[in-house]
Structure 1
């Protein structure tokens, strides 16, 4: 992936969000030129095709720009108005919707959601009757991610909601921070029940319209109608291969469905800095926005690797810690091949949002650029985060390669399946995860799961192993007393536990 810088600096000042107080002196032009040089260099070094960023400082949208291309084949440029999927950065919007409902007197943060939604049911009765709206959006429900309930699944929000009761918790409620998209989905259902409107309609009315986020959309069909959106890429070996849009993120919408550009995201950042106000009008009260900004869970491990970063905590839709002694609220976003990062430094009246169109390098580029900007504008010496994160990236690859070698070493290569391959074939089901179909593919097995096509190889005994994107995932076939395979236990990604599918 090659970076091609095609756009000049765009200075954009939104009158609707300008603060009344006297603005500070503008940043020297050479600082912005240096930023341009740095971003272009990073896109080239990390092989990122396109990106966009904005900087908000002292009540102004100081800087908004697109870099590189939104389509590697046509070379169409990214602009400051190009839509990207911002993924889990959307969580802060959903948390703010809950805060607005609290302002309206429709939500009590401390009231169990079961009292608002009698049909809310988890696999643990105490958690079911205890969880509040605050708990849904602070990742302390006791439920692990279970992301493959929704990823690429043919389910709508109500169907996901109804399946929560079939998902095992692996921790008691409040015991530990565990990131969870499904609980944000449930928060979206709560918003619907309390407001009488869908999450999408409530978002539009209470946040997007008042903030002038006119081109921001909440579904892929809406985005695809736009004349300016970025494709996404996620394959390091094949950088021109599109990631596509089949994740079903629109179904899990409140957890990650916002598609926005950097110009309009600046309005969202200014709302955060201006304590819930826009153009002097209260969109969400300072009191309830502070609920979003209050740490409710400790992120494990609490100690960061680098000394400049403080202990990690989570509020509602925001990671909260310190950076070089400065209070920092952040959230990343990852869906398809998009990677985004929003950063707010409330005591410095500054915020940054950056988004990219490849997932092949994870969050390394967005973190590197964000930290460079913060270092520069806070007049600190600039830390060489690029070298640090480049080493981390290389180390992670080496660790992954070692894990593959260890996996191969642990394999009993002299074993054979106990049954003929056709005996493993069949349709297996889980009440939440859905249908897993095993069929013969020549002299091998393959699995079909949602839109995933998974090649399997025999690992040892009655255990098979996924290939490709599912490399290393074990499929463990289990027999009944008659000696027939009636279950398959899968090390499902992001579940932290095996998921057992029963044969029909």
Structure 2
């Protein structure tokens, strides 16, 4: 019996030792096979070019470019290639406010009106109580109204002065409403308090100490670089250059930064480093935490995948959980470019992905970011590409359903109340600007808004439907007491009903 006991004991010890060794063995290097994965995603999602940066434990672990920044000339993306990062800029503006708070020049909770006496919204109550914190947490009640600035020939100050003509769609604090114009206003606030332009403040207080040496803030600077990406749109399977005419520089604090994955890795290191980069404290840990703190629930409150928690918004950051881990992130979209930056503060890990097409929206960047997260968090890898392809198909089906429902609501056998020439003329709004309508054919108008062409086709009665710049927007023409067409109410997504008055025949 004794030899048998010894044998069993020996087997148990060996087994235990093997088990201990197996558990203690280090995980596979997360970067093994990563290049192949990214290149495969470029093919599957049809993305011309991208760049990826990864940081961990205070160090840059990976920066690399994939695909092409210029298809015509076969120029590859590099780790230094500049991309417009669009709304990823918002975290920089929120941080700039935090720096002013560190300097004792800004109180997060003090009304903006106290710093900007000329600040004026359409709603007087909102004008009096909105704070700097509110400007950058999307809770002012102002909807996007993006057509006030997109492709318009207006500068920042002109847009700021037009805020008073834009109706709020919700009471202050009532609901999350993403808004670029309020971030632009935060930039004006920075300028007034500091005595420096938003651009110069960022260069001095953020870009220079972070050694973001290649990052630029306006297109003229970008075009002086020898390494920047073009953007592309899909035209029936063919890539066409999208161009740079959006006027994003005018609302710079909301989205005008152009950077690369090397410089953006420095940005993530500072976010993970409690406001410190190298030996320099860029922003205090206290005020950096303010930007990382949830301020409002993102509406609608929904969980698209079981691995994701409910989303909230801080100041320049979306905040939720990914597979149980706290995650902060932000994405950006302008002129075909798509960007995504993500970090996990408790794991001291972050990633940035920059791309040059909007043809697949954020599906590609999310596929990359989620894959990297799974690898570095040492979790079973989820096939996010397949999941997101299903989500993409469902989104397209939903869009088609909306179009079908729109067509079904059209009242047939109706006609305009007046001859078509009566609707021609110039229509103006004090914030949105103007457009001129000319007739084309028996039931169609052509027009130009902010240098973008559009057409109007008869929908029913005195309602016309837009194409081009005003795709699917309804134009409801109204008649005055004398029976003349004197205005048109245009229903715009993320803005509501905007009335343009007829000022010339």
TM superposition shift of 1:469 = 4.8
Provide the C-alpha distance between the structure 1 equivalents of 2:256 and 2:149, rounded to a whole number of angstroms.
13
Q: How does 1:53-452 map to 2 (within 5 A)?
A: 53-237=52-236, 239-443=238-442, 444-452=444-452
Residue of structure 2 equivalent to 1:485: 485
Q: Deviations over 1:151-178 (max 9, x none)?
A: 1111110001100011111111111111
Provide the C-alpha distance between the structure 2 equivalents of 1:219 and 1:27, rounded to a whole number of angstroms.
43
Provide the C-alpha distance between the structure 1 equivalents of 2:470 and 2:67, rounded to a whole number of angstroms.
31
Shift of the 90–53 alpha-carbon distance from structure 1 to 2, 3 Å rule, reads: same
Provide the C-alpha distance between the structure 1 equivalents of 2:306 and 2:151, rounded to a whole number of angstroms.
39
Provide the C-alpha distance between the structure 1 equivalents of 2:26 and 2:473, rounded to a whole number of angstroms.
53
Residue of structure 2 equivalent to 1:476: 476
Let me know the Cα RMSD of the aligned residues. Answer: 1.4
Partner SS state of residue 154, structure 2: coil
Shift of the 26–342 alpha-carbon distance from structure 1 to 2, 3 Å rule, reads: farther
CA contact (8 A) 2:454 2:468 kept: yes
Q: Deviations over 1:449-493 (max 9, x none)?
A: 112100221111111111235331111111111111100111123
Residue of structure 2 equivalent to 1:462: 462
Partner SS state of residue 43, structure 2: helix
Partner SS state of residue 348, structure 1: coil
Provide the C-alpha distance between the structure 2 equivalents of 1:421 and 1:470, rounded to a whole number of angstroms.
20
Q: Deviations over 1:157-208 (max 9, x none)?
A: 0001100011111111111111000000000000000000000000000000
CA contact (8 A) 1:148 1:494 kept: no
CA contact (8 A) 1:73 1:240 kept: no
CA contact (8 A) 2:151 2:450 kept: yes
CA contact (8 A) 2:310 2:320 kept: yes
Shift of the 316–236 alpha-carbon distance from structure 1 to 2, 3 Å rule, reads: farther
TM superposition shift of 1:235 = 3.2
Q: Which of these two proteins has the greater Rg computed from alpha carbons?
A: 2
Provide the C-alpha distance between the structure 2 equivalents of 1:401 and 1:312, rounded to a whole number of angstroms.
27
In the alignment, structure 1 segments of 5+ residues that lack a partner are 1-24
CA contact (8 A) 1:84 1:338 kept: yes
Provide the C-alpha distance between the structure 2 equivalents of 1:26 and 1:460, rounded to a whole number of angstroms.
68
TM-score by length of 1: 0.93
Provide the C-alpha distance between the structure 2 equivalents of 1:308 and 1:297, rounded to a whole number of angstroms.
21
Provide the C-alpha distance between the structure 1 equivalents of 2:114 and 2:128, rounded to a whole number of angstroms.
8
TM superposition shift of 1:233 = 1.5
| Of 131-140 and 303-312, the range deviating more from structure 2 | 303-312
CA contact (8 A) 2:27 2:378 kept: no
Shift of the 489–238 alpha-carbon distance from structure 1 to 2, 3 Å rule, reads: farther
* 4+ aligned runs moved over 4 Å, structure 1: 25-29
Residue of structure 2 equivalent to 1:3: none
CA contact (8 A) 1:87 1:258 kept: yes
CA contact (8 A) 2:233 2:239 kept: no
Provide the C-alpha distance between the structure 2 equivalents of 1:280 and 1:302, rounded to a whole number of angstroms.
40
CA contact (8 A) 1:148 1:493 kept: no
TM superposition shift of 1:384 = 1.2
TM superposition shift of 1:91 = 0.2
CA contact (8 A) 2:476 2:488 kept: yes
CA contact (8 A) 2:91 2:317 kept: yes
TM superposition shift of 1:302 = 2.3
Partner SS state of residue 250, structure 1: helix
| Of 239-248 and 164-173, the range deviating more from structure 2 | 239-248
Partner SS state of residue 91, structure 2: helix
CA contact (8 A) 1:188 1:199 kept: yes
Provide the C-alpha distance between the structure 1 equivalents of 2:281 and 2:439, rounded to a whole number of angstroms.
61
| Of 429-438 and 195-204, the range deviating more from structure 2 | 429-438
Provide the C-alpha distance between the structure 2 equivalents of 1:120 and 1:39, rounded to a whole number of angstroms.
46
Shift of the 239–102 alpha-carbon distance from structure 1 to 2, 3 Å rule, reads: farther
Provide the C-alpha distance between the structure 2 equivalents of 1:314 and 1:201, rounded to a whole number of angstroms.
27
Provide the C-alpha distance between the structure 2 equivalents of 1:236 and 1:99, rounded to a whole number of angstroms.
43
TM superposition shift of 1:308 = 0.9
CA contact (8 A) 1:457 1:466 kept: yes
Provide the C-alpha distance between the structure 2 equivalents of 1:27 and 1:353, rounded to a whole number of angstroms.
23
Provide the C-alpha distance between the structure 2 equivalents of 1:462 and 1:327, rounded to a whole number of angstroms.
52
CA contact (8 A) 1:236 1:360 kept: no
In the alignment, structure 2 segments of 5+ residues that lack a partner are 1-24
TM superposition shift of 1:387 = 1.0
Provide the C-alpha distance between the structure 1 equivalents of 2:492 and 2:153, rounded to a whole number of angstroms.
18
Provide the C-alpha distance between the structure 1 equivalents of 2:393 and 2:117, rounded to a whole number of angstroms.
49
